[in-house]
Amino acid sequence: MSNTFSAIINPEELVKLQESSEIILIDARAGINAEENYQKEHLKGARYVDLNKDLATVETNPANGGRHPLPSFEKFSEVLSKLGIQPSAHVIIYDDKNGSNAGARFWWMLRSIGHEKVQVVNGGLQAAIKAGFTVSSEIETFEPAEKYPVSEWKLALADIEAVEKARNNNENIVIDVRDKNRFDGLTEPLDLIAGHIPGAVNVPFSENLDENGFYHSAETLHQKYSRILGDVKPENTIVHCGSGVTACHTLLAMDYAGIPIPKLYIGSWSEWSRNDRPMATIKNN
């Protein structure tokens, strides 16, 4: 699904828009005390979206869809209406981890229902503040929107069976965007078992960023991912992480680079590792 609207907006561009009534600014930081930190200080006018409550339907057993499965269409429609987002809205998203928290996840979800005017702030919260965007601790008030029509995910998804078929097929590639130590099975801070899906290649999402925490140029990212994919078509590419959140950082990077958005495996390692599937570490790969 193509889009001429850039996935990335630089903080200097955002500052020029801060008085505009045409944008809806979303704070998508996640983790411990995320909402509390938002309330203490956020970009003025930003509306808060919660990863666990709004962008996922968290199940008691991650073996069924992972730690952050997608919400129902009805639930996501309600979230968008609550945030005041209509199909024509220009949505700009930031988090405090350069898009690797819920920023890119929300971007992917909006793009996947056909919303075109959505961008993620390059460098995130701190970069926007440094560029001069006004911060606030006030409670933001805004009107909810009419029901947003949500009926399907238009961007491609892969389930656990599709990953099983793809992982040893030369016409496919499975990309794991977690950091190398997690991929190698040396550490696992979130899931029960350390390791990776046999046959997957490790391309940490952090490599999408330069030393200052900004996305590499579109040209640099295009060269990088074209080299990684080789002759494999984007539609035969599956990207995953721990729970389907940071994988979206790489999907965003590829879209920014002008590469068609590959398939997302939402369940990711959190689902795979709980379903008696083959698992590997650097020692037994």
Cα distances from 149 to residues 51, 55, 96, 103, in angstroms, run: 21, 16, 29, 21
Active site residues: 241
CA distances from 240 to 21, 92, 177, 196, 247 (A): 36, 24, 6, 11, 5
What is d(CA 121, CA 108) in angstroms, rounded to the nearest whole number? 14
User: Could you tell me which of 284, 270, 233 has the C-alpha nearest to residue 254?
Assistant: 233
Of 225, 2, 13, whose CA–CA distance to 120 is shortest? 13
| CA–CA distances in Å: residue 279 to residues 29, 54, 195, 269 | 31, 31, 6, 10
Q: Is the dihedral of CA 61, 63, 64, 70 positive or negative?
A: positive
Residue 114 makes CB contacts below 8 A (sequence gap 6+) with: 1, 87, 154
Strand partners, 201: 175
Question: Could you give the angle at the alpha carbon of 189 between the alpha carbons of 184 and 285, nearest 5°?
Answer: 15
Instruction: Give the Cα separation of 59 and 152 in Å (integer).
Output: 21
